[in-house]
Amino acid sequence: MTARLGGGRTDSDLVTLDEAAADAVSRVHPVAGTLELPLGEADGHVLAQAVTAPRDLPPFANSAVDGYAIRFADLATGASTSLPILGRTMAGEAPAVLGQGAWRIFTGAPVPDGADTIVMQEDVVGGAGTVTLPAGINRGANLRLAGEDVACGQQVLPAGRRLRPQDLGLLAALGLAEVIVRRRPRVALFSTGDELTEPGRPLGPGAIYDANRAMLRAMLLRAGAEVVDLGILRDEAKDLERRLREAAADCDLVLTSGGVSVGEADHVKDAVLACGTLDLWRVAIKPGKPIAIGSVSGTPFIGLPGNPVAVFVGFAFVTRPLLARLAGEAYAPPQARPVRLGFAHARKPGRREFLRVSLEQDTDGIAIARRHPGEGAGSLASLAQSDGLVVLAEDVAQLAAGDTAPFLPYVELL
Ligand code: AMP
Ligand code: MG
C-alpha cells in the first residue's frame, strides 16, 4: 500500500484517504503519563480514567419549583383541598419534617420528610396561614429525587473523554475538585523551505512568509497538543537531519510541512531516511500531494506537503486522528451533513476532493453551498474566507447545481 523509500524504493499506487488515516493511527500508542489538574485547568484535556460518581446527584430530594410540599395522600380525590401552612424551607436550609398540612418550599430546597409531592405556587390560592390546592395534582410532581440524575457509584464519564465545559460542570456538581488527565502529546513543529521568512521580518526577493507554521500551531493546540515550535528549516539535508534528530529526542511526534515532493529541493525525505524510516504516500485526495509518514529516531514523523490548503487537509484528515490516538482520546471523525450545491462541478473520478465553500440560506431555509473562487492548493484566502469543505467521494464524477452533497464545517474539523 505504501511506497517504502528505505531499502528498495518502490513506486506506489494511490492510497485512499481512509487507508492513509487508518495506517497513520495504527502506528502510534497513547502517551503514558498522567497528571492531576484542578477543574479550572482541565478543559480540553483527555480523561486518563473513567470517573465514577462518589455521591448521588442531586444529593438530596429537593423541589424543582417554588410552591408547597404536601403528602399526596392528604389530597381530596376529584376536588380541591385546603391545608394549613406549617412552615417553610429555603434553598440551603436543612430539611424539615412535614406534619398534617402543607409546607412552603422554594426551588432547590430540601423536601421535608414525609412530603412526596410539590404543588407550584402559580397553581394554588393562598390565604393567611392556609393554602388551597386544585384537583388533579399528580403524585411526585415537581420533586427531584436524590440520585435521579446520577446514582452514587455510576460511571459518569469514560476514559478518553476530551473534557468539555459541561463535563466539568458535572464533575463539580459531584464535588470533585481535581481530575486525572493524560499529559498532552508533545509535537515538534517545523516548516521547511529556503523561501520561507518569519512574519514580521522584511521579505527578500523570491521569499514568502511562513504561513503553515502559524496555521499548524493553532490546529495542534486545538487538537490538545503541546507545541514545540522549532521554526524554519532550510532545504539542506544534513542540517535537516540534525534538527529532526534533536526534535525527536523529547517529543511524541515530529510534524513538518514542505519538502516531501519529488523536486530537487525536497530534502525532508532523505533527512528522515538517514535517521529513521519513511513511507511516502500518494494519497488520493485533492487538494493534496504526497504525505510522508515514518519515524525519526523511533519517534513518529509526519511530513505534510508545502501548499497551505494541502497542509490543512492533511492535518485534518491524517494528523488529527493520529494525534487523538497519541492523546488517548476517544475520537470519532466528524460527520458530514448534507447541503445543497449552488454550483455545478465535473471532474475525473478517483480522488476524494474537498471544495472550499460558504453557506447561505436558500429561500426554503435549506443551506446552500457557494464555492470560493480561489481553488488552488496554495490559496489561503479560500480557507480563511469559507465556512468548510464540501466532500466529493472518490467515485463522484459530476455534480449539478441543486444536488445534495456532504459538508464538513471547519469548526468540527479543528
Ligand atoms: P514544497 O512541497 O516544499 O515544494 O512546497 C510547495 C509549495 O508550498 C511551494 O509553493 C512553497 O513555497 C509553499 N510552501 C511551503 N512551505 C510553506 C509555508 N510554510 N508557508 C507557505 N507556503 C509554503
Ligand atoms: Mg519546499
Find the ligand nearest to 196 CA. Answer: 1
Q: Dig out the grid coordinates for 15 from the structure.
A: 492510497
How far, in Å, CA of 310 to CA of 33, rounded? 33
Residue 231 near ligand 1, beta carbon < 6 Å:
no
The CB-based long-range contact list for 406-412 (8 Å cut-off, 24+ gap) reads 406/336, 406/337, 406/338, 406/339, 407/336, 407/337, 407/338, 407/339, 407/357, 407/359, 407/367, 407/369, 408/334, 408/336, 410/386, 412/334, 412/388
Nearest CA to ligand 1 atom 5: 306
Which residue has cell 381530596?
A: 76
Q: State pTM to two decimals.
A: 0.91
Does the pLDDT at position 156 exceed 50?
yes
Residue 323 near ligand 1, beta carbon < 6 Å:
no
Q: Is 359 helix (H, G, I), strand (E, B) or coil?
A: strand
Q: What is the pLDDT of residues 240-266, one digit of tens each?
A: 999 999 999 999 999 999 998 877 778
Domains of the chain (ranges plus CATH)? 6-32+184-327 (3.40.980.10), 34-57+149-182 (3.90.105.10), 62-144 (2.170.190.11), 337-413 (2.40.340.10)
Mutation choice for ligand 1 from 196, 229, 261, 309, CB with most ligand atoms inside 8 A: 196
Alpha helices in 89-234 (DSSP H): 165-173, 212-222
Q: What is the pLDDT of residues 390-412, one digit of tens each?
A: 999 999 999 999 999 999 999 99
Distance 202 CA to ligand 1 centre (A): 18
Residue 211 near ligand 1, beta carbon < 6 Å:
yes
How far, in Å, CA of 60 to CA of 95, rounded? 9
Q: What is the pLDDT of residues 322-338, one digit of tens each?
A: 999 999 999 999 999 99
User: CB count, 10 Å around CB of 332?
Assistant: 8
User: CB count, 10 Å around CB of 219?
Assistant: 21
Distance 192 CA to ligand 1 centre (A): 8
Which ligand 1 atom is at minimum distance from the Cα of 378? 8
Distance 302 CA to ligand 2 centre (A): 15
Residues near 161 by Cβ (< 8 Å), separated by ≥ 6?
Answer: 46, 47, 167, 329, 330
| Alpha-carbon distances, residue 240 vs 160, 190, 289 (angstroms) | 35, 10, 21
Catalogue the E-assigned strands of 238-351.
253-257, 276-282, 285-286, 290-296, 299-304, 337-341, 345-346
Does the pLDDT at position 2 exceed 70?
no
Question: Nearest CA to 39 among 194, 231, 169?
Answer: 169
Distance 66 CA to ligand 2 centre (A): 68
Does the pLDDT at position 8 exceed 60?
no
Distance 205 CA to ligand 2 centre (A): 16
What is the pLDDT at residue 12? 53
Q: Is 246 helix (H, G, I), strand (E, B) or coil?
A: helix
Alpha helices in 78-179 (DSSP H): 165-173
Question: Nearest CA to 69 among 99, 100, 112, 109?
Answer: 112
What is the pLDDT at residue 7? 37
CB distance 179 to 42 below 8 Å = yes
Residue 290 near ligand 1, beta carbon < 6 Å:
no
Does the pLDDT at position 234 exceed 90?
yes
Q: What is the pLDDT of residues 76-106, one digit of tens each?
A: 999 999 999 999 999 999 999 999 999 999 9
Q: What is the pLDDT of residues 100-130, one digit of tens each?
A: 999 999 999 999 999 999 999 999 998 789 9
Mutation choice for ligand 1 from 192, 198, 201, 212, CB with most ligand atoms inside 8 A: 212
What is the CA angle 310-315-318, rounded to 5?
Answer: 105
How far, in Å, CA of 216 to CA of 190, rounded? 10
